[in-house]
Amino acid sequence: MSAANVTVRPRARDWSRVAVGSPDLAAADRDALGTTARIVTWPAENLPGMLAAVDAELALLDSQASRFREDSELSALHAAGGGTHRISDGLAEAVGIALAAAAWTGGLADPTVGGALIALGYDRDFALIGGAMRDGQALARAGLGGAPHGGGAPHDGGPPGGGACPAVAVPGWRSVRLAGNLLTLPPGVRLDLGATAKGLGADRCARAAHRAARHRGGVLVSLGGDLAVAGQPPAGGWPVLVADEHRQVRAARNLAARMAAGAPDRRAPGSDGRAAGPAATQLVRLARGALATSSVTCRRWERHGRQMHHLIDPRTGWPAAGPWRTVSVAAATCAQANAASTAAIIAGEDAVPWLAARGLPARLVGHDGTVALTPGWPSDEGGPVAIPAGDGPAGILLGVPGGEAGERA
């Protein structure tokens, strides 16, 4: 496969302007990457020039790293089977960051969970997945026939709480090698870059948008709630509403729209997305860096009468079964924040000390609604998030493949 074969198809560019409560700011939404992309910028006249720049970045990332598009570079790589392939610079960056994230998280955010996700039924764009998957259907789609792949053994422990269906063992990120633009995959290994690619996309889009505005003012780019900022923030930082479960996201969106229209913030316990108890939504302010949220309350589907979600524990091949249902993490880059929030869901009880040891501000919401905060995350409503000043793992922070990916070279 040749990187020269990759083409960027024009996508529907149906941006919709949205009100964000200030005439000095402008914002727009569009569907992208199976979720919603949002740009918010000031001064408002920056917006038109940014849309095209972000469109180009989104189209490029989708054409390179989507496992749901048959014509993507990643799909072509999977179709070609195992072996060594020369890949584009963009996909090399995405895979390199995914491997760096795997190394940094001790293998918890592992890009080789693609086969396990397919086996569990997440084999297409989530919007196309039906409510229930018949037994064996997903494995047949994956071309696996229920057999283990990548040399691993089937996980027969079943999902937490018991279960009859077999899981597919995750081959592990160390089975993948990336040397420059040469990617070597074992036969049958399917990559899923979901733990980092959306964050990488937000980072790329924020940089591109700020560049398009000739570094004037500031911009925030959100891809499904994983967001990165660039340039000068509004006074006090970008106001971001952090929500817990997906119903809160929808209600919080409505609340934000009403507040943008001038209505006062009248959140009351149990209404407007603010659940009773400590797991209510929280307004924070982000002056720089990025913020990502991972949750098991969204992207859920049913198989064998069981609820599945998209965050796979590579140690078991099953959806993570830890105590946290939603984790929000702030970091220097969105790729790093995205990897950390995913790893924290999978890490379970170890998540809080793991995040704190790395100086990452985070908000963790348990299945019982309790909230845990790590240092740097504000405890008060509207407080600033303290992004760590130090560099994170070089490969993630700099977006340079090979920073800490030990399997490269």
**Binding positions for another protein, rule: CB under 8 A:** 20-22, 24-25, 27, 29, 31, 34-36, 38, 40, 42-43, 125-127, 129, 198, 214-218, 220, 222-227, 232-236, 238-250, 252-253, 255-256, 259-260, 265, 281, 283, 291-295, 297-299, 326, 328
Smallest separation (angstroms) from another protein to the CB of 47: 13
Cβ contact 404:391 at 8 Å: no
Q: What is the largest CA-CA distance in the chain?
A: 59
Q: At what angle do helices 197-212 and 89-104 cross, to 10 degrees?
A: 130
User: Which one, 30 or 306, has the nearer CB to another protein?
Assistant: 30
Smallest separation (angstroms) from another protein to the CB of 287: 10
**Which of 400, 392, 386 has the alpha carbon at shortest distance from 288?**
386
How does 66-95 read in b/e, with b if 16+ C-beta sit within 10 Å?
A: bbbbeebbbbbbbeeeeeebebbebbbbbb
Smallest separation (angstroms) from another protein to the CB of 357: 23
Smallest separation (angstroms) from another protein to the CB of 170: 22
Smallest separation (angstroms) from another protein to the CB of 70: 19
Kindly calculate the radius of gyration of the chain based on its CA atoms and give it in whole angstroms: 20
Task: Give residue 146's identity as a one-letter amino acid code.
Answer: G
User: Which one, 132 or 164, has the nearer CB to another protein?
Assistant: 132
Q: What are the residue ranges of helices labelled H in 80-164?
A: 89-104, 114-119, 137-141
User: Which one, 246 or 304, has the nearer CB to another protein?
Assistant: 246
Smallest separation (angstroms) from another protein to the CB of 8: 22
User: Which one, 169 or 298, has the nearer CB to another protein?
Assistant: 298
User: Which one, 236 or 375, has the nearer CB to another protein?
Assistant: 236
Residue 164 CA to residue 152 CA, distance in Å, equals 19
Smallest separation (angstroms) from another protein to the CB of 293: 4
User: Which one, 255 or 346, has the nearer CB to another protein?
Assistant: 255
Q: 3-state class of 15 per DSSP?
A: coil
User: Which one, 22 or 175, has the nearer CB to another protein?
Assistant: 22
Instruction: Give kind and range of the element (H or E) at residue 206.
Output: helix 197-212
CA distances from 309 to 30, 73, 194, 294, 303 (A): 24, 25, 13, 11, 10
Smallest separation (angstroms) from another protein to the CB of 406: 29
CA distances from 258 to 236, 254, 263, 264, 282 (A): 21, 6, 5, 8, 16
Q: 3-state class of 404 per DSSP?
A: coil
Smallest separation (angstroms) from another protein to the CB of 35: 4
User: Which one, 89 or 125, has the nearer CB to another protein?
Assistant: 125
Task: Give residue 25's identity as a one-letter amino acid code.
Answer: L
User: Which one, 74 or 283, has the nearer CB to another protein?
Assistant: 283
DSSP for 55-75 reads HHHHHHHHHHH-SS-TTSHHH
